[in-house]
Structure 1
Amino acid sequence: MWIQNEIKLSPKSRGYHIITKEILREVPEIKKINTGLAHIFIKHTSAALTINENADPSVRRDFEAHFNRTVPEDTSLYKHTLEGTDDMTSHIKSSLLGSSVTIPVTDGKLNLGTWQGVYLCEHRNNGGSRKLVVTLQGE
């Protein structure tokens, strides 16, 4: 069985946001899959997806601080700055983290670890709503 949904996330502020519940709310068909995979792809070049700690919010703040140090918003370092200081840096951060995650599906649920959640990594100051393509495969 193959199921594919395009979903629109609510706008998020710059930072790292757990979106696991938002995804599941928009893809109720996952309950039909006993064994399979969920592939989640973001259709943007200035935001990313990753899986990490879902309990302590300081992890998400540390992610933001780390990436801001690693990829500084100094326009003298980049040519692609038409949309502001967060323009090229957002593209770099997104490439470092990636545009998709794949998660096992077991008994109609994402088979994540106890402390894992899906993050939307919003790198723009005003990114707006983001679109995801969720593809489910399984039986």
Structure 2
Amino acid sequence: MKFYQKEVTLPRFERGYHLITHLIENIVPEIENITIGQFQAFIKHTSASLTINENADPTVRMDFETHINKMIPENMPYFKHDYEGSDDMPAHIKSSMLGCQVTIPITNGTLNLGTWQGIYLGEHRNYGGNRKVIITVFGV
């Protein structure tokens, strides 16, 4: 069995949902060495998330941002954790709801995603900065 692991720093993204599948695939070309295996990406932050969804129509990512912001609005009077601004606590909740990792099967050297699936980075802060991701690939 082969194992590969890399920690990468993603470029800074503005607040919203960003399709990063090709960026991630280019960071770990070793995926090509795996016939059957697993890919995992884990984001090392509590105010950003990783998830899998629609990769074709960018309005899906816009709708994600709009809907999640209505579900988890800023400036709620019951939020106590606001040390870094009004987007602080909502970003933590969004990150927990969507998750900090994705796992994808690898088949014949490629991520075995559905036709319309891609990896999203959810940037939940107005000024989130660069995000660190641990990528682990293993298999035979």
TM-score, normalisation: structure 2: 0.97
Where structure 1 has 5 or more consecutive residues not aligned to the other structure, the ranges are: none
Alpha-carbon distance in structure 1 between the residues aligned to 2:103 and 2:113: 11
The answer to whether the 8 A contact 1:75-1:81 is kept is no
Q: Which residue matches 1:104?
A: 105
1:137: Cα distance to partner? 1.1
Alpha-carbon distance in structure 1 between the residues aligned to 2:139 and 2:34: 6
Q: Which residue matches 1:3?
A: 4
Q: Does 1:85 align with 2:83?
A: no
Aligned length: 139
Alpha-carbon distance in structure 2 between the residues aligned to 1:125 and 1:118: 21
1:22-101 equivalent positions in 2, closer than 5 A: 22-101=23-102
Where structure 2 has 5 or more consecutive residues not aligned to the other structure, the ranges are: none
Alpha-carbon distance in structure 2 between the residues aligned to 1:131 and 1:79: 27
Identity of paired residues, percent? 58
1:75: Cα distance to partner? 4.2
Q: Which residue matches 2:130?
A: 129
Note the alpha carbon deviations across 1:1-46, whole angstroms, 9 max, x for none. 1111111111000000000011011111111001000011000000
Alpha-carbon distance in structure 2 between the residues aligned to 1:9 and 1:24: 13
Residue aligned with 1:76, SS: coil
For 1:57, the aligned partner's letter is P
For 1:4, the aligned partner's letter is Q
Provide the alpha-carbon RMSD of the alignment. Answer: 0.7
For 2:77, the aligned partner's letter is S
In the TM superposition, structure 1's runs of 4+ consecutive aligned residues that sit over 4 Å from their partners are none
Note the alpha carbon deviations across 1:48-86, whole angstroms, 9 max, x for none. 000000011110011001110000101412000010010
